[in-house]
């Protein structure tokens, strides 16, 4: 975003504290868009044009109009203060690139699970892998103008513990994306202070159904 650095002094080449955050989620939920909107530097993107060859392996339900996709990761940076910076990584969404996720999770402070409420089932793998790694996370519902769901409906569909923050956002908007990251940082701080139940992730894992529930029918465009 051209104006992202207009109100900020030149960035230092190095920082004493580098904090790593990962944005994960299903294919086409807005991970690249979020990194682009909030990064104060020109983000690194590994987007490639989608081809007919990928149609046989990628699940395009609900994202048929998408023309490009992340094949490695997105990277952005946010300065917190004179000595600390936040490094933001966006993970690829297609199943054939999921093998990269375990590497991206290494050294991660926490994660944002970005979801499209029209395709909630696409978020289960991200939540499962974060719980497997013991990585704290929050869930952010990106606004695609789909049907409205109550917070309880979304929590039940994703088997989320009440201790996992759930927020709404517009990944295209910088202030909205910043709010998501602030919510994550506040959640991590609460965890570090012991003010959030330590069994939250285990509770969510225990209640997640072994078989996928029926999808809520999507509205006809």
Each residue's pLDDT tens digit in the chain (221 positions)? Answer: 444 444 444 455 566 778 889 999 888 888 889 999 998 987 666 554 544 544 544 454 544 444 444 444 688 888 888 888 889 988 875 565 556 667 777 788 999 999 998 888 888 888 988 898 899 999 999 988 877 889 999 999 999 999 999 999 999 999 999 999 999 999 999 999 887 654 344 334 444 444 444 444 444 44
Is 125 within 8 Å of 92 (Cβ atoms)? no
In sequence order, what DSSP letters do the residues of 49-108 get, joined into one string? E--GGGGGTS--TT-TT--EEESS-EEEEEE-SSSEEEEEEEPP-SGGGGGGHHHHHTT-
Q: What is the pLDDT of residue 74?
A: 83
Which pLDDT does position 94 carry in this prediction?
Answer: 58
User: Please, are residues 123 and 113 in contact by the beta-carbon 8 Å criterion?
Assistant: yes
* Residue 208 confidence (pLDDT): 45
pLDDT of 137 reads 96
What pLDDT, on a 0 to 100 scale, did the predictor assign at position 169? 95
């Amino acid at each position: 975003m051209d104006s992202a650095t207009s109100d900020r002094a030149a960035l230092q080449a190095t920082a004493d504290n580098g904090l790593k955050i990962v944005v994960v989620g299903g294919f086409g939920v807005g991970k690249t868009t979020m990194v682009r909107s909030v990064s104060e530097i020109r983000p690194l993107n590994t987007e490639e044009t989608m081809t007919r060859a990928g149609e046989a392996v990628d699940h395009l339900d609900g994202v048929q109009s998408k023309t490009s996709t992340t094949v490695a990761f997105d990277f952005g940076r946010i300065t917190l203060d004179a000595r600390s910076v936040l490094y933001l990584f966006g993970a690829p969404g297609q199943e054939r690139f999921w093998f990269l996720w375990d590497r991206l999770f290494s050294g991660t402070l926490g994660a944002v699970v970005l979801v499209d409420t029209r395709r909630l089932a696409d978020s289960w793998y991200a939540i499962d892998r974060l719980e497997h790694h013991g990585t704290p996370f929050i869930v952010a519902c990106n606004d695609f103008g789909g049907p409205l769901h109550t917070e309880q409906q979304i929590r039940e569909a994703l088997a989320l513990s009440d201790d996992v923050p759930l927020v709404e956002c517009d990944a295209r908007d910088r202030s909205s994306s910043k709010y998501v990251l602030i919510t994550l940082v506040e959640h991590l701080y609460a965890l570090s202070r012991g003010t959030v139940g330590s069994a939250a992730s285990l509770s969510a894992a225990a209640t997640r159904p072994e078989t996928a529930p029926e999808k809520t029918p999507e509205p006809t465009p």
